[in-house]
Amino acid sequence: MNNLNDPPRWNIQPEQGGGEAGAGGGHQWNYALLVPMLGLAAFRWIWTRDSQNEIQKVKVQYDKDVSVIKSKMEARYRDTLTESRRAVAMLELELEKEQQRVKGYQQALVSHSQHLIQERKKLEQEREALNDEKQKLVKSGAAGAALRDALEREAEWHQRASATLRELEGLLVERQNAYCSLIQPRDQRLEMEKNMLLKVVKNPVAAELGLESDLQDIFKRDKHCADLMNMDKRKNGSLMWVYLKYWQLQITLQKHKRAEEAIFDGRIQGHGK
């Protein structure tokens, strides 16, 4: 067995003897240091080369991944941009259609209002003509007495018609307020409109005046609302007020026509006969 206190010759000794110390001992020590240093250098070179290869592979793979992600992001951006432009184009088209529709409604409302104004002027002219005719009849003695009797008989009908219009005016004010309200449900307004139509259909006076179609026209066309700070309900609506004035003239004219028909039909006789 090897003696650890006296190792073989391959164990490096700093000095082997006096004669050999100066000759070969130093070279053995230098060689012993050179071998591990060369091994370490070789290991470092191999490790560095493998590390660089691994780093290069990682860099190449990273560049590929970044390129793929970049391509996907660019494609997604182009798709999103295309969709956004398409959506903007569609919104612009819808906006233009709505603007044209509103413009058409406004023109129709103006035209309809002008038509009603003309009708009202016509009714006023007819009323003035009837008033002139009434004055002539009043001055003619018996015919005048007959006309007075006929007008008195139609006064009750006129009062009922006027009361119907006053009630309808209040309902229209509330309906228009519901239309202009930002918090009142739409279903509530539709229910109000339905009840109003049923009321005028069942009311003989309203049916005689033909108010049902006029109300439907108001519900369809009157979209006027006062400003948001308005607290006066009667400032809402535009077409409805034109119709109310038209209806008032209509019942006045109808009163005189009913009286005239009563005289011509012989239901009213003059006091002189």
Number of domains present in the structure of the chain: 1
**Residue 243 in domain:** yes
* pLDDT for 174 beyond 80: yes
Tell which residue, 174, 161, 184, has the closest CA to residue 252.
161
Q: What are the tens digits of pLDDT across the range 65-124?
A: 778 887 878 787 787 778 777 877 777 777 777 777 767 767 777 777 777 788 777 877
Q: Classify residue 95: in a domain, yes or no.
A: no
Structural domain includes residue 256 = yes
Token pair recorded at residue 44: 């470092």
Q: Which of 234, 252, 246 is nearest to 175 (CA)?
A: 234
Range of the domain at 236: 115-264
Residue 51 lies in a domain: no
pTM for this entry:
0.48
How many other C-beta atoms can be found within 10 angstroms of the C-beta atom of residue 227? 7
Question: Would 70 be classed as within a structural domain?
Answer: no
**Residue of higher predicted confidence among 52 and 187:** 187
User: 220 lies in a domain?
Assistant: yes
For residue 35, is it within any domain? no
- Comparing 17 with 136, which gets the higher pLDDT? 136
Let me know if residue 83 belongs to a domain. no
pLDDT tens-digit map of 78-91: 877 787 778 777 77
CB 223 within 8 A of CB 101: no
